[in-house]
Structure 1
Amino acid sequence: MPHRNAPLSETGRLRLARCVVEDGWPLRAAAERFGVSHTTAKRWADRYRQQGAAGMVDRPSRPHRSPTRTPAEVEERIVALRRAHKIGPVRIAARVGVAPSTVHRVLVRRGLPRLDCCDRATGEPIRRYERRAPGELVHVDVKKLARIPDGGGHRVLGRAEGRKNRGGYGYAFIHTALDDYSRLAYTEILTDEKAGTCAGFLTRAVAWFAAHGVRVERVLTDNAWAYTKTTWRTTCARLGIRPDYTRPWRPQTNGKVERFHRTLAEEWAYHQPYPSEAARRAVFGDWLDWYNYHRPHTALGGHPPATRVTNLSEQHTYPLTCRCSPATARRAAVGRTPVRRRQADAR
């Protein structure tokens, strides 16, 4: 591909060369006709005489010789260290004795992906996938969160006082069903993760997705005890859903819902100190509304998950959601402002 200021494309070069070589045009006349210099016209004419039409294609600008290029044995050592220890350019450079920028260039030249694009266990590139339509695959998983004692935990009282106040408050179980294509999430905070509880959650999640115009076809879970029991399989059969399972000891297969739980922890569960479990749960509904309808999702090109499903009546109109002020958006991110109600009033 020629650069944007190139006067000749490959077709133009061929026409110029044929005018000179085959039709007998003088070099200066051909150069003036095609708007290039005399030396440029001569270069393409000479290349046409030597190589024919194949000589009109672009050539790389890389020099024929690179005396200062990193020696091959050093490059092999850099690649071996990367594959064996899965470390970055700075740490490799300290072992090899070259600059980190040199290590980076070698890794790029050898086609090795960035560390954040590789599986930490194997070092192999991460294989990303996405279903083609909402409902084709729904990821289901449970995250355990320690309940906050009344009066606050260590984030409010400090480590010493927090230990005295933690008591036997147990755990809250966050059940999530996440659509693979749209990243739309349905979440409930329940008291356990037993088979009956998980089956009841799935029934309500399927109804919620149906209300959003999404028909669930498959559900993907890990191999937890509750998902392998007859109760779960019977519920899936009754709902017309095919149950699938991840490979044992391979949570990356269910990575989308795992990543959602990380977002949930960072932006809601541990986003700010809460004085009690009730205070934290009071803002959960608004945060989930923010995630589904307003929060820009990087995997969706900066759009919220709901933009990938049918915009049903009585739901958000997305151009309006973009008009809220940055302060309103920040408050909604931590569940302090019910954005849906404010925008409904604005209509």
Structure 2
Amino acid sequence: MRYMASEKLEIIRLVEQSALPVRQVLGKIGIPRSTFHRWCDLYRTGGPEALADKPSGPNRIWNRIADDIRAQIIDLALETPELSPREIAVRFTDEQGYFVSEASVYRLLKAHDLIASPKFIVIKAAESFHTKTTAPNQLWQTDFTYLKVIGWGWFYLSTILDDFSRYIIAWKLCTTMAASDVTQTLELALQASGPHQATVRHRPRLLSDNGPVMLLTNSQNG
């Protein structure tokens, strides 16, 4: 399957922002690791434009950004180091009323050594929990399923699965994979199963890619 440059960049950001291991994310969306790493190398060295398939015709010559605009973009980047080239381009366009593309910002920042390599949060997937469950609500598992909707983008199905019964206790369709999304799905699971009434000792453990943790709520002192 052939991907447009914007789709390749979207996949790179998806993997970068995911709390799941890179290999697991790529497996879910069907992208070979060799292909993904090639995209990353292109993006790291040439920015978003390098992700586009090379045209068969002659290269297009782009107009150079005026020096005063370049200086303002660099100043903005230094003032807001937490922003990505895309976010800097959007903010600059909104605040200054002068359109600059993400690719132009990327090239400019890279020329001034202000671009860092993509940061991928690689977490080792947990092995099977060493204590086998013998009843429901002893161990819950969290997971995200990736859904690509043509014309809409990526969506993420957050689920809470009971390890013993394999029953999906709660689910939530999300537009991000933030910690708050998992928390909200857990709240739905708590409402559905009622273990928040139990003591801390008897509440279910939660198994994610980071391993098992004890599920605590505000009623832990009850």
TM-score, length basis structure 2: 0.31
Higher share of residues assigned strand: 2
Larger radius of gyration: 1
Q: Normalising by the residue count of structure 1, what TM-score does the alignment of the two structures yield?
A: 0.22
